[in-house]
Amino acid sequence: MFAVHLVSFFFSKLQEDPTKKVDRFLYSMCLNDGQLSDISARFQAEMKKGLSIESNAAAAVKMLPAHVRSTPDGTEKGQFLALDLGGSKFKVLQVKVREGTGIRKGEVEMEEQTYPVPRELLSGRGTELFDHVSKCLKDFLHEKNISLEKKHPLAFTFSFPCEQSSLNKALFLNWSKHYRARGLQGKDMIQALREAIDRTGVLALVNDTVATMMTCGFDDQHCEVGLIIGTGTNACYMEEMRHVDLVEGDEGRMCVNTEWGAFGDDGALKDYITEFDRDVDAASSNPGRQIFEKMVGGMYLGELVRLVVLKMAKQGLLFDGCVSDALRTKGRITTANVAAMEEYKNGLKNTRDILMDLDLTPSPDDCIAVQHVSTIVSFRSSNLVAAGLAAILTRIQQNRNLRTLRITVGVDGTVYKTHPQYPKRLHKVVRRLVPDCHVRFLLSDSGSSKGAALVAAVAQRLASQRQKSLSPFTLSQGQLQLVKARMRVGLEAGLRSKGPSAIKMLPSFVYHRPNGTERGKYLALDLGGTNFRALLVHFKKGLQQKTRLYHKLYTIPLEIMQGTGEDLFDYLAACVSDFLDYMGVKHAHLPTGFTFSFPCEQTSIATGTLVSWTKGFKATDCEGHDVVNMLQEAIKRRNEFDLDIAAVVNDTVGTMMSCAYEDPQCEIGLIAGTGTNVCYMEEKKAGDVETEKMCINTEWGGLGDDGSLDDIITPYDIEVDKQSLNPGKQRFEKLTSGMYLGEVVRQVLLDLTRGGLLFRGHVTETLKTPGIFQTKYLSQIESDHLALLQVRSVLQQLGLESTCNDSMIVKEVCGAVSRRAAQLCGAGMAAVVDKIRENRGLDHLNITVGVDGALYKQHPHFAGILHDTAKVLAPQCNVTFLPSEEGSGKGAALITAVQKREGQNRKD
Ligand code: 0WK
Ligand code: 0WK
Ligand code: BGC
Ligand code: BGC
């Protein structure tokens, strides 16, 4: 008897451990650390390819910027609805995030409901899938008694690759896992959802890895990696902005959704792909794609085990070569089965039950062998994830130049959660592959929607603060109509009133526009908003309107602008003297036209009493005085030449004349520069001057001085007015012109910075400096082809260190302020052209506006918005805008020439 036992013992010893044959059969799936390090290195290379703008398009691993720039900082708060679509379960949730105080994190309350996604919708039309999502959302609101009417901000976890240009713009790239709905590729998923749920409040779309990182980041600030090992697999992490080529800016960090499921789609893993992987891929609905995911993800592990067991059975290595139909059937071994087979205690029993369920009669060794197949397949999965994770951790460590890295990985997914051995195996291999990284794995206990809500909370805070500051600048059609009506009332009142009125409507004593017969040489002096120009204009015979024009520009120092009147005019006289010398016409006694860009009351063409300074001028002893006289006095004081100033005109009038020389239909002059103003040809009954038409300098900059614009004036405008040289005056000008737009922007930036929304809440001396933000910067910052980086360099020039987010906000503020300015000028112009049309009893008016001013000429969008607004508000007028080439100086010379011609005619 003893001998028999001895033989059977040796026989059994001789009989091979069933796992050995599996090891041999699946040696290609057993990856050693060397191979894992190699895979990790390959993945690092793929990450670089995906991040770089040169190679991203061809890269398999897309490295998609998630537009999440920080992990939770405890300031998040609010109530959100959340949708979690793409994992094994579709969930609708309500998430309440309460703000934490001090270091204590706030708490988050969640209510959730899981809803089935009918199989036919997974491969039906995309719109039907979103209609289903919408229906479930409505059911949820109903069930939880949440009002359907109230606008609930919504966070959307969408677990598929999307190319995002912001948190709320996500172009869908491709399906994976068990989703195949048609007609959504390349579409904006936020838009698709909004259309389905007919709601706008969709604040943010995030990938489930990103949401998982944020969820875990709420409890552990070291959490900067999100990992999903579920139906599919994927990882995200906080990358340095300087490496994220697809997004502007190199300051700070941004979360990148690696979409590592596609690792190997370009053949990078070909020497690790086994025949079983190829079979799984071939039988999948997206062959050639998501290669890494098909080696790792829960949707495929069971299938891999089935195919291995099937082949071993066919080769007689299992079940004595018996093969059941069930074993031949795709999907009959699930990943849950794989997990069950590997359970500590009941693993073998479960294996037996599962094989029995497949109509097989497994021997104990068969069970051990099949269990071992599951082990090898799921072990390879965790090993591959470890290799991928090691690549990410190494990259973060190198990015931050750290010898050791302490970091937390937020994890979710059924495989990681339900497979008994998976987490331990993964942690162990990761720590072996990256020994200098102290990695904590944090299981996301409440799914990804908490994280999605946190992202939405940040987006909401950013948006609401921004909205709070910017919405006052957004004028509705109705408001613009009102401004047009008030401008009209102001124009009429100014014409009627003898006394002071907000819109002064100053007669210019210019009756005729040029008719091309003007001849001779003229001197023109042009005191504008920022410069003084002296021009020599020569209207010659021969080809129509052959004009020679020479000019010299003189900047006016601030101390002259705001010094004494005598100094100012002495300075002008000195410039004239210099110009006359420069042109060699000192003693030519040329008839002179003087463009004076400030409100002057005129009693004739050659006199003009300054009513009040505007823009940056405040020279003393000038208001109430005749500006022609003051200039003549100054010239007399020089006692070296004299001038025959035949006309003094406003720059709007000069501009109108200069453009009328090109286009006889030009009867309006518009300046949108340092200041703003308009003139136009008014009918005879204007005031008591007997003639057919006279040009009226409206001085529309004063609209609102009587409070008629108080309902659109914002606190920022009030601050700018308070700090201006003429508080309470020129209210319309302070909303629309170059002298002030920069200041309005600065006030908004100050407010946003104080609100912690900008420049990290750091209010620098620079930002507090009036006039630091010149309007030319608006034009630069708003130019379409100026990348955010260049916006940053403009801000840098101003001594404002900014992040990319800051640049975006600054660009948005500039846009809102200049847009309002252009719209208001458009509304004002609509009032003027409609008045002229009605003056003439016309149903339709064709008219040209001569325009000048740096804001109109140099700002990238101002002119276009002004045109569009005027068009919409004065539909019966076809208005052509003609930018003036030579400025109003030429216009002043023309007026002087017309003056001379008319004087001649009157004599004849
Ligand atoms: C739970 C998360 C969800 C994610 C899922 C992944 O809330 O966003 O998609 O985990 O795991 P799966 O359900 O695919 O196993
Ligand atoms: C150029 C004209 C001048 C006018 C100026 C306004 O020649 O008369 O004052 O445009 O533009 P700004 O220089 O204020 O931008
Ligand atoms: C998707 C990822 C997602 C992952 C985990 C993959 O199939 O492409 O976007 O994060 O599954 O759910
Ligand atoms: C002045 C106007 C001038 C306008 C444009 C305003 O400040 O009051 O007279 O036309 O600026 O330069």
Q: Is 120 in the same domain as 149? A: yes
Q: Is 588 in the same domain as 557? A: yes
pLDDT at position 754 is 85
What is the CATH number for 329? 3.40.367.20
Give, using CA atoms, the residue closest to atom 3 of ligand 3: 159
Residue 714 covered by a domain: no
Q: Is 415 in the same domain as 532? A: no
What is the whole-number distance in angstroms between the Cα of residue 678 and the centre of ligand 4? 8
Q: Is 204 in the same domain as 314? A: no
Residue 288 covered by a domain: yes
Which of 595, 676, 857 is the best mutation target for the ligand 4 pocket, counting ligand atoms within 8 Å of the beta carbon and taking the most?
A: 676
The angle formed by the CA atoms of residues 532, 538 and 539, to the nearest 5 degrees, is: 125
User: For 823-852, how does the pLDDT look when each residue is reduced to its tens digit (9 = 90+)?
Assistant: 999 999 999 999 999 999 999 999 999 999
Residue with tokens 């630069």: 780
Which of 651, 697, 699, 741 is the best mutation target for the ligand 2 pocket, counting ligand atoms within 8 Å of the beta carbon and taking the most?
A: 651
Sign of the four-CA dihedral 696, 701, 707, 713: positive
Residue 859 covered by a domain: no
Q: Which atom of ligand 3 is least distant from the CA of 208?
A: 10
The answer to whether the CB of 295 falls within 8 A of the CB of 381 is yes
Round to whole Å and give the CA distance between 849 and 871.
Answer: 13
Give, using CA atoms, the residue closest to atom 9 of ligand 4: 598
Give, using CA atoms, the residue closest to atom 11 of ligand 3: 232
User: For 778-818, how does the pLDDT look when each residue is reduced to its tens digit (9 = 90+)?
Assistant: 888 888 766 677 788 888 888 888 877 788 888 889 999 99
Among 901, 799, 40, CA closest to 390: 40
Number of structural domains (the chain) is 3
The answer to whether 708 is a known catalytic residue is: no
The answer to whether the CB of 896 falls within 8 A of the CB of 592 is yes
Whether the CB of 293 sits within 6 Å of ligand 1: no
Give, using CA atoms, the residue closest to atom 6 of ligand 4: 675
Domain boundary among 428, 460, 492: 460
Q: Which atom of ligand 2 is least distant from the CA of 737?
A: 14
Strands (E), 61-216: 64-65, 78-85, 90-97, 108-115, 154-158, 162-166, 169-172, 202-206
Round to whole Å and give the CA distance between 599 and 613.
Answer: 7
| Active-site residue, selected from the candidate residues 444, 508, 597, 658 | 597
pLDDT at position 778 is 87
Taking the CA of 888 as reference, the closest ligand is: 2
Whether the CB of 579 sits within 6 Å of ligand 4: no
Round to whole Å and give the CA distance between 585 and 669.
Answer: 30
Whether the CB of 674 sits within 6 Å of ligand 2: yes
382-413 core/surface letters (b: 16 or more CB in 10 A; e: else): bbbbbbbbbbbbbbbbebeeeeebebbbbbbb
Residues of the chain with pLDDT under 70: 1-15, 99-106, 148, 150, 199-200, 541-546, 684-691, 785-787, 904-908
Residue 335 covered by a domain: yes
Q: Is 433 in the same domain as 385? A: yes
pLDDT at position 518 is 83
| Active-site residue, selected from the candidate residues 69, 194, 425, 533 | 533
Q: Which two tokens stand for residue 868?
A: 């569009």
Q: Is 428 in the same domain as 455? A: no
Round to whole Å and give the CA distance between 694 and 648.
Answer: 15
Largest interatomic CA distance in the chain: 153
Q: Is 428 in the same domain as 533? A: no
Whether the CB of 159 sits within 6 Å of ligand 1: yes
Round to whole Å and give the CA distance between 212 and 157.
Answer: 10
Domain boundary among 425, 460, 495: 460
Q: Is 334 in the same domain as 456? A: no
What is the whole-number distance in angstroms between the Cα of residue 241 and the centre of ligand 1? 27
Whether the CB of 261 sits within 6 Å of ligand 3: yes
CA dist list (Å): 150 to 21, 96, 99, 153, 700: 64, 15, 22, 10, 43
Q: Is 521 in the same domain as 433? A: no
pLDDT at position 197 is 83
Round to whole Å and give the CA distance between 395 and 244.
Answer: 13
Q: Give long-range contacts, CB 8 A cutoff, 24+ apart: 575-580.
A: 575/532, 575/534, 576/523, 576/525, 576/534, 576/635, 576/641, 576/643, 577/638, 577/640, 577/641, 578/534, 578/552, 578/554, 579/534, 579/536, 579/552, 580/523, 580/534, 580/641
User: For 46-93, how does the pLDDT look when each residue is reduced to its tens digit (9 = 90+)?
Assistant: 999 999 999 999 999 999 999 998 887 777 788 899 999 998 899 999
Round to whole Å and give the CA distance between 42 and 263.
Answer: 9
Residue 119 covered by a domain: yes
Give, using CA atoms, the residue closest to atom 1 of ligand 4: 598
Q: Is 157 in the same domain as 23? A: no
| Active-site residue, selected from the candidate residues 84, 651, 834, 852 | 651
Taking the CA of 61 as reference, the closest ligand is: 3
Query: In terms of residue numbers, what domain contains 167?
Result: 72-220+447-460
Whether the CB of 208 sits within 6 Å of ligand 2: no
Give, using CA atoms, the residue closest to atom 2 of ligand 2: 887
pLDDT at position 690 is 52
Residue 391 covered by a domain: yes
What is the CATH number for 214? 3.30.420.40
Q: Is 413 in the same domain as 540? A: no
Taking the CA of 530 as reference, the closest ligand is: 2
Round to whole Å and give the CA distance between 361 and 826.
Answer: 86
Q: Which atom of ligand 2 is least distant from the CA of 615?
A: 14
441-468 core/surface letters (b: 16 or more CB in 10 A; e: else): bbebeebbbbbbbbbbbbbbbbbebbee
pLDDT at position 908 is 55
User: For 693-721, how does the pLDDT look when each residue is reduced to its tens digit (9 = 90+)?
Assistant: 899 999 999 999 999 999 999 999 999 99
Residue 641 covered by a domain: yes
Using the 8-state DSSP alphabet, how is residue 101 labeled?
B
User: For 524-544, how does the pLDDT look when each residue is reduced to its tens digit (9 = 90+)?
Assistant: 999 987 789 999 998 876 555
Taking the CA of 157 as reference, the closest ligand is: 1
Among 791, 813, 788, CA closest to 800: 791
The answer to whether 818 is a known catalytic residue is: no
Whether the CB of 673 sits within 6 Å of ligand 2: yes
Residue 141 covered by a domain: yes
Which of 651, 678, 735, 740 is the best mutation target for the ligand 4 pocket, counting ligand atoms within 8 Å of the beta carbon and taking the most?
A: 651
Please name the residues in contact with 375: beta carbons below 8 A apart, sequence gap of 6 or more.
342, 421
The answer to whether 533 is a known catalytic residue is: yes
Q: Is 203 in the same domain as 343? A: no
CA dist list (Å): 448 to 78, 137, 469, 885, 907: 17, 17, 32, 61, 91
Q: Which atom of ligand 2 is least distant from the CA of 654?
A: 8
User: For 575-626, how does the pLDDT look when each residue is reduced to its tens digit (9 = 90+)?
Assistant: 999 999 999 999 888 999 999 999 999 999 999 999 999 999 999 999 999 9
